Amino acid sequence: MSGAVSSALPSAGAPLSHVNRAGGSKRVLPGFHITLGFSILYLSLIVLIPLSALVFKTFTLSWEQFWVAVSAPRVMASYRLTFGASLIAAVVNAVFGLLVAWVLVRYKFPGKRIVDALVDLPFALPTAVAGISLTALLAGNGWIGQLLEPHGIKLAFTPAGIVIALIFIGLPFVVRTVQPVLEDAEKELEEAATSLGATRLQTFTKVIFPSIAPALLTGFAMAFARAIGEYGSVIFIAGNMPMISEITPLIIIGKLEQYDYAGATAVALVMLVISFLLLLVINGLQAWQRKRAGA
């Protein structure tokens, strides 16, 4: 019996994708070439062709014109604000998103389902509505702003307001990335660490954090990437003062309104390249973390 079963199975060295009952070369999942071709075509239509149009339009500029467009002081200030505020917001979301995910997974409390649903609200809410709501709250005559401004704390129409808006739209990315990993975490390892005398901090840093670090880094990267391109929720609360609270997407919109299409694509190309390089670095860190965890 065992010999018949073993004869029906492929040898350990044979690839499953190339073996069938008749010993032919059909794949386990048929239609791979068709689906691969369709995937590449779809990816080209949705991503590659629009991005290539951005590059080709930028190439209509000479090098001097390109450099003037992307290195003007007002544009450089917008780069610093956009990437700096996005980085701060992503770091804040990484910390507090982990905290929210931890509470939702490890504790039971009244209204837990409502809190869980509220996490997704920034996904569903139009970004312009979020921007108007935050501005109404944080402005000098808003519920929160009128309490803070007498103490010299001004949030609306400042870079701090931009960071708050980016935190708002980026929180779900961290929570929804970390939450399933925490749900699948083996509590037996934590109990074993505790029984061996580990403190709570040691259990978290040595047992829990290494298992959730790749997911946390993924959530951080998604929140960061989302914040870089955010426009609707920021435009109302930023104040849009040149050199102070003007984000790069607004610079691009301004150039388009002035029919400076090549200048707009040049600035957009710089943002695209910087964002791509940052995501490559983050993906490299994720791969390193997974390799380290599996070692």
**Model pLDDT for residues 104-138, shown as the tens digit of each residue:** 998 998 988 999 999 998 888 888 888 899 999 99
Q: Residue 243: left if φ>0, alpha if ψ -120 to 50, beta else—which one?
A: left
Separation between Cα atoms, residue 133 and residue 95, nearest integer Å = 24
Is residue 252 one of the residues assigned to a domain?
yes
User: Which residue, 271, 267, 281, is CA-closest to 66?
Assistant: 267
Q: What percent of the chain has pLDDT over 70?
A: 88
| pLDDT single digits (tens) 162-209 | 999 999 999 999 999 999 988 888 777 888 888 888 888 888 888 888
Separation between Cα atoms, residue 39 and residue 199, nearest integer Å = 49
In terms of average pLDDT, the best of 46-55, 93-102, 277-286 is 93-102
Is residue 35 one of the residues assigned to a domain?
no
Is residue 73 one of the residues assigned to a domain?
yes
Is residue 6 one of the residues assigned to a domain?
no
Mean pLDDT of 276-284: 82
DSSP 229: T
Is residue 12 one of the residues assigned to a domain?
no
Confidence of residue 264 (pLDDT cuts 50, 70, 90): very high
Give the number of domains in the chain: 1
Residue 73 pLDDT exceeds 90:
yes
User: Residue 169's domain spans which residues?
Assistant: 62-291
Is residue 22 one of the residues assigned to a domain?
no
Is residue 4 one of the residues assigned to a domain?
no
CATH code at position 172: 1.10.3720.10
| pLDDT single digits (tens) 201-251 | 888 888 888 888 888 988 898 899 889 888 888 988 888 888 888 999 999
Q: What is the pTM of this model?
A: 0.81
Q: Give, in order, the Cα–Cα distances in Å from 202 to each of 96, 176, 199, 208.
A: 20, 25, 5, 9
Is residue 196 one of the residues assigned to a domain?
yes
